[in-house]
Every structure is written in structure tokens, then in C-alpha cells.
Amino acid sequence: MASTSPESPSTPEESRPLTPPLSPSSIEILETAAEIALNSEDPSFLIAVLNELDVPVLTHRSLLILDHLIQHHPNRLCHRLCKIIFFPRDTITEVTSAVALEMFKSLFSDAISGEFIKPFLLYLKSDARAVENIPAVNKLLSHFSPHYIPENDWPEFTTAVCDNLDSGKEKVLQFVLSVINKLFADGTEYILELCLETLCDKLKKILSSSDVSLKVKEAAVEASFGCILGLKNAVNDEFLQDLLRKVMNTVFFKGEIKFHMSQEGYARFILDHLVALARADAWFLRNQIDKVLKFTFIMMENPQCEERTRFLAIEFVLVLVEDKKGCQILVNTGDLHIKRMLSQLLCMIATVNENKALDNRDQEQCILLDQGMKSMARFSRALGGRFLLEGFPQPFESCFNSEEWQRRRAAVSSLSIISKNCSKTLKSKVDLVADPIMKMVDDKHHHVRWGAMYAVEELSKYLHPELQNHYHQKVLPALTKAMDDFSDSRIQVQAAMATYHFVENCTSNMLEPYLDEIISKLLRCLQKGKQLLKQWALSALAAIARSSQDKFLDYYRTVMPYLNFVMTKARGESNGLLLSETISCMTAIWMVIGKDKFSDDTQQVVQLLASTPISNLDIHDPMRIQGLKAWGRLCKCLGHKFQPYMEVAIPCLLQSARLTLPDVANIEESDERNRMIQIKTEILEEKATACVLLRHCIAELKEGIDLWIDEVVNL
């Protein structure tokens, strides 16, 4: 390694003097010693200085010399130490080499980092004993910065890299491949362009060899993918296609797996890189796609493989189809791979037992089920739900007709997932999902029936109004029947939720024939149901009132006693959530039927609101928001008849509008900080709600608000 010219004194920040300051005469002596240590071709003088550190009577002299070199010649000392580290072991002791290594690391700088590796590569090639130094150099490799390799050294450096790939020694191959992968990791792969074809040939040879270890092959695979991803524009495409073929041949050849399952980690390593390649350039896989997909599906479908291996295989297919060109590549391979992927995802979603088949939005699911549902969402988004259901009905039909309830439920869940993620393409063909789901609402197994109710809810949210227009005659009777299933409260709750979402987009004419029965069932839920069922029954009643409009008038006097009873009981039990839902339902109904029909029924609600100041409620209490909304709805419904209540309502709205935000800047504890952020969010929501309602009151009451106009203006 060429030495540099003497530097101006500059001590690295981490370097500290080893000894006290010296006199001028002593400095001259040390300068002479430094010249000998740094300029002599023979490093024996510096080796002797390092050796003297172990001799008590000579240690002081050695420390003086080394201290002088560190302060005044750090870079040149670094170069010289580098040579000593690489010196043959019969010339220096292990201790001396270790001392040199530690000192070298402490002085190591970016200017040196690009230069120390090339001499060692040449040394490996020319001296068999150099292998002994690999462990020491490996410790420095993490500091190696290829950016600082001088450009005029590139040809010799790359030649040394390629030459060492012919070595029959495991340690040499591992080290050289580590250097290559370091170049790719640091974005300096352009250095290898000078010998790219030679490098690829050497990598193919290593991949084809039966004499190298799995560790070496993994490093060669990493280097191969580095060439494909980083240097594909520097060489003929077919050249790198052949390199990918060689990589795949190490795991899959002539339709058979080429490794023992105990080496599954190697297959996973290749899958990981295939995912990265598909994400970066899926089109590159076009020539090898059949082999890659066959290998991927074998790993995906093999029950002996670990879950993480199977998930990685699924991730490859998903990443491939999420790329437009990659999706076209998969479609061009024919139907087989898409059918296999759908079948695998349906099997994963069917991985559920009697105890875990719970509401997948609120309950923790097993990893396999959760992964299957997420993957089905991504797969359907990429390919299109209509394309999947029209072109590949067999996997779904097989599940729907299965004797196993888990598979039937998996098919229902998959259709709800596809409906959510592909609503645009399915709205014109809603029968593709609605027909099979409606067949499942009366399934003999309660988990399948629950899944069908959940699917109706999802279709109601994402395929409206087409679902309501074409299927209200089937859906509404099915919902009322499910709400009558007191043997399974979860099905009742889900049916009430589905009812709420379905009727939100129904017309009054659609609902009219079914109002008697559906309202009757909802009132029965209010009587006998538990908390959650009551909440959704209240929401569904409010939605029915909004959608049926004047047709709800016939049911008003029947419904109100139930609502008053629920409100009174919730207030007595301090059940803020149910109380807020009840008031929300009552005021929503009043908004529909008009003040002439309900004005006599408002007194109980007004008294409740007036006797429960919002400021006295906990910030998390849902009655804070619902109370404000109730005042706003009452104002809109009653019009000028609301004026007697303004002395209570308007100050309440003003108080919420004036709320101040907590300061979270000085809170360090994460849990407390998250709690305060949640409070801040709730306060902002309450302020915004109060301001909107004040505007509505002003618009409705006009001159009746003049007593508070100054306070409103000053908000």
C-alpha cells in the first residue's frame, strides 16, 4: 500500500495522548524514530515497538513513539499497521497482530477504508498463509467503505475479486463474496462493471458446484441477485437471465426440489430475494416464471414447511401480481397458478376451530387465518374481484359445497373480503357475490350463518345501492329471521348491524312491506337483548326511520314506550353508552316525523339533558357528544318552540366550544402522552361539534339567539 505524504498534525477526536508532553530535544528523537517506523520498507522496527509494549522496562519508550505517531502521522501509521495485520503469522505473534488491529481500528478513517482491502485480496491470491488473517480482516470489513477505492485501483481490485472466486478454500470464497455483497449494499456496484461477465461466470460455477457449503451458496445467491438488480443495464439481459436460471437450479431442477427439508432456510433465502426482485423489476422474471412459480407453490403447499416459508412464498405471488407487468406475466401462464393461489388462501382462511371462529374485526385470530384474509384482500385487489369470480369459480364452489363448516365459512368470508376490495368492478355484477352468500344465511352451522350476516353487512356498505335495489326482497326477510335467533346472541348482534347498514340505502318503498316484522324484531331485541344488541337495534331503528320517512309515523307510538323505558333504565344504571345511543335514536326519529307529532314527548329528554351538565361528565363519556347533538336536533325539530330551552342549551354549546387543549409537549412517558393525545382528539371533536351546532341554531332561531351573539362572535 502506497504511503501518503506527511500530514499536518491532526489528532482524531477519539485519540488521546499516551504520555505527558515532551521537551524539544525529545521530540527530535521521536521524529527520527517515526521516520524509521514509517518510511522503512521493512516493518520490523514498528513490530519491535509493538512488541515492547509487553516488556515493562521498554514500555515507556514504545508509548512515547506511538503517541507521537498518533498525534502527528495518524494516516501513515494506519497504512503501516494495515501491512502488519496482514503480515505472515510466523513473522509476528498473535498478540502483536491483535495490538496492531486494535490500534488500526481506532485510527481507521474513510480515507483509509477504501484502500486496505485490495492489498489483502492480492495477498490472498499469492500467499496460501493469508487465509489465517481472514478472521482479523473480517473484523474490519464492516468499516470497509468502497466509495473510497481510488478509481485507478478499480481494474486491479476487480481482477483480484474474480481471481479469488476460483479458490477452493471455503473461507476465501466466503470473504470475497462478503466483499462483493458489501459493494452492492453500499451502492458501489458500478466498480464491478469492469468484470461483470467474468464475475457472473464465476458465480454460476459456484452455484453449480456440489463441493461448496450452503453458506457459500447463500452468499453467491445474494451476489447473483445483486448483479441482477444492480447491474442489469450494464450487460446483455440474457446473460443475467442465465444467472437467475442457475440460482433456481440450486433449489428446483427438472420439476423436483433439489435440497433436503433440513435446508429449508436456504430456500427461504432465495424466496426472500425473489420477493425483492419482483418488487424492483417483476418483468425480469418473465423467462423463468414457470420454474419460479412451480418452486414457489411447492414451498407454499408443503405442510412440512415452516409458516414463515409458506408466508414468504405467498408474499412473492402477491408482490408479483401487484405489479402491472408482473400481473400480466402471471395471467399469461394460464389458469393453474391462479387457482392454486385461491385454493391456498381459502385453506388458510378455513384454519379456524370452534373456539376461534369469532368476529374477525373484534377478536384475535390465529396467524394463519389473519394472513390468509389479508392476502385474499391483496390478491383480489390486484387481479380484480369480477375477474376472479367469473374466471375461477371452482375453488369457491368447492368450499361452498363442502361438508366442513370451516370451508363454507372461508368461502363466505372471502366473498365479503372481495366485495370490500373490488366494489367498483362488482357493482355491475352484484349477483356474483350476493347469490352464494344468501344461500348461506340458513346454513346448519351457526358460525357460517354469522359469516353470512357479516358478509351482508360488507356488501351493504360497499355494493350499495345495487344490492338494495336487486336483493331487498331476499335480504330483509333473512335479517329479521336472524334477529330472532336467541340461541346465538352473536348472530343477532351481527344481523342488527347488517340491518343498520342495509336499510341506510333503502327507499321507503323497499322497506314498506317488511316494516311490521323488522320493527317488531328490533323492539324485541331492545326488550331481551344484551348491551351490544340493544345499541345496534337502536341504530337500526334510527336508520329505518330515516329511510322509511313518513311511513314510520304508523309505528311511532309503538316504538316510543320502548325507547323511554331503555332511556330510563340506562340513566338509572349510569350506562352512558346505552343512554347516548337511545337519545340519538329518539332525536333521529323526531327529525323525521316532525314537531307536530312528537313535541309532547320531548320533556323527558330535555329534563335529562338539563339535569346532566356536559361539564360534569368524564371527557370520554359518549353523552358529551350525543348530548350536544341532541340539543342541535331538538332545535332543528322544534324551531321557534325550542326557545324555552335556549337558556340551558346555548350555554352548554358555548362551554364545549370554548374548551382548551392540553399541552402534551413536556410529557415524556409514552403511555401518558398517548392518553393525552386521545383526550386532545376528543376535545377537538367536541369543539367542532359544538361550533357546527351553534351555527345550526343561529340559522334556525335567527333573532332568538341575540342574547348570546357577542359570546358566539368572541369564540
For residue 664, the enclosing domain spans: 602-715
DSSP state of 613: -
Q: Which helix (H) or strand (E) holds 650?
A: helix 646-657
Asked if pLDDT for residue 6 goes beyond 60, the answer is no
- From 90, 108, 126, the end of a domain falls on 108
Per residue in 11-56, pLDDT tens? 344 444 444 444 445 567 767 777 777 776 667 777 777 777 666 7
* Distance from C-alpha of 285 to C-alpha of 621, rounded to nearest angstrom: 56
Region 458-464: what's the mean pLDDT? 95
On the question of pLDDT at 142 being above 60, the answer is yes
Q: Rounded to the nearest 5 degrees, what angle is found at the Cα of 248, between the Cα atoms of 244 and 249?
A: 115
> pLDDT class for 254, splitting at 50, 70, 90?
low
- Band the pLDDT of 164: cuts 50, 70, 90: confident
Predicted pLDDT of residue 361: 42
| Model pLDDT for residues 520-559, shown as the tens digit of each residue | 999 999 998 899 999 999 999 999 999 999 899 999 999 9
Question: Given this model, what pLDDT does residue 193 score?
Answer: 83
Question: Can you tell me the mean pLDDT for 308-329?
Answer: 94
Does a structural domain hold residue 410? no
Which of 108, 131, 146 terminates a domain? The answer is: 108
- Among 22-26, 78-82, 166-170, 431-435, which range has the highest average pLDDT? 431-435
User: What angle in degrees, to the nearest 10, is found between the helix axes of 515-528 and 466-483?
Assistant: 50
What is the reported pLDDT for 695? 86
Read off the pLDDT of residues 633-659 as tens digits, 9 standing for 90 and up. 888 888 888 888 888 888 888 888 888
The answer on pLDDT for 9 being more than 70 is no
Q: Determine, yes or no, domain membership for 419.
A: no
Per the prediction, the chain carries an average pLDDT of 82
Q: Is residue 694 part of a domain?
A: yes
Determine the pLDDT at residue 108.
Answer: 57
- Cβ proximity of 171 and 131 under 8 Å: yes
In this structure, which amino acid lies at residue 251? V
Domain count for the chain, please give it.
Answer: 2
Q: What share of the chain is helix, strand, coil (3-state, %, to 5)?
A: 80, 0, 20
pLDDT score for 602: 81
Centroid of chain to Cα 615: 40
Nearest-angstrom CA–CA distance, 624 and 227: 62
CA distance 549 to 543: 10
Instruction: Give me the pLDDT at residue 529, please.
Output: 87
Distance of CA 13 to the CA centre of its chain: 41
Any alpha helices (H) in 463-575, and if so which ranges? 466-483, 489-503, 508-511, 515-528, 531-548, 553-572
Candidates 284, 450, 315; CA nearest to 379 is 315
CA dihedral 507, 513, 517, 518 (to 10 degrees): -10
| Model pLDDT for residues 582-592, shown as the tens digit of each residue | 988 998 898 88
Query: Is residue 71 included in any domain, yes or no?
Result: yes
Burial of 663 (0-12, 13-18, 19+ CB in 10 A): exposed
CA dist 634 and 639 (Å) reads 8
Q: How confident is the model at residue 3 (pLDDT cuts 50, 70, 90)?
A: very low
End residue of a domain, out of 65, 81, 108: 108
Regarding predicted confidence, which is higher, 475 or 50? 475
Rounded CA-CA distance 47/45 in Å is 5
For the segment 571-576, the average pLDDT, to the nearest whole number, is: 84
Type and span of the H or E element at 165 = none
Neighbouring C-beta atoms of residue 230, cutoff 10 Å: 18
Which of helix, strand or coil describes residue 109? coil
Q: What sign does the CA torsion over 376, 378, 379, 381 have?
A: positive
Digit-coded pLDDT (tens) for 215-230: 888 889 888 998 888 8
Judge whether 29 lies within some domain. yes
Residue 305 has pLDDT above 70, yes or no: yes
In-domain check, residue 695: yes
* pLDDT (0 to 100) of residue 363: 44
Cβ-based neighbour number of residue 214 at 10 Å? 13
Instruction: Write out the H or E segment, with its range, that includes residue 201.
Output: helix 196-208
Average pLDDT score over residue span 363-376: 80
> Do the domain assignments include residue 595?
no
pLDDT of residue 113: 54
Which stretch of 102-111, 434-443, 573-582 has the lowest confidence by average pLDDT?
A: 102-111
More confidently predicted of 10 and 168:
168
Amino acid in position 87: F
- Grouping H, G, I as helix, E, B as strand and the rest as coil, residue 212 is coil
pLDDT for 714 beyond 60: yes
Average pLDDT on 131-154 reads 72
Residue 79 included in any domain: yes
- Average pLDDT, stretch 592-601? 74
Structure confidence at residue 669 (pLDDT)? 65
What confidence category does residue 159 fall into, taking pLDDT thresholds of 50, 70 and 90? Answer: confident
Please tell me the predicted confidence (pLDDT) of residue 133: 67
How confident is the model over 77-129, as pLDDT tens digits?
Answer: 776 776 676 665 555 666 666 677 666 666 655 555 555 676 667 767 666 66
pTM summary value: 0.77
Residue 249: its pLDDT value, please?
A: 86
Residue 171 has pLDDT above 80, yes or no: yes
Res 323: pLDDT: 94
By C-alpha distance, which of 121, 9, 157 is closest to 70?
Answer: 9
Residue 417: predicted pLDDT: 95
> pLDDT value at position 12?
40
- Mean pLDDT along residues 577-600: 83
Could you tell me which residues come within 8 angstroms of residue 548 by beta carbon, excluding any fewer than 6 positions away?
Answer: 508, 511, 512, 515
Predicted pLDDT of residue 678 = 80
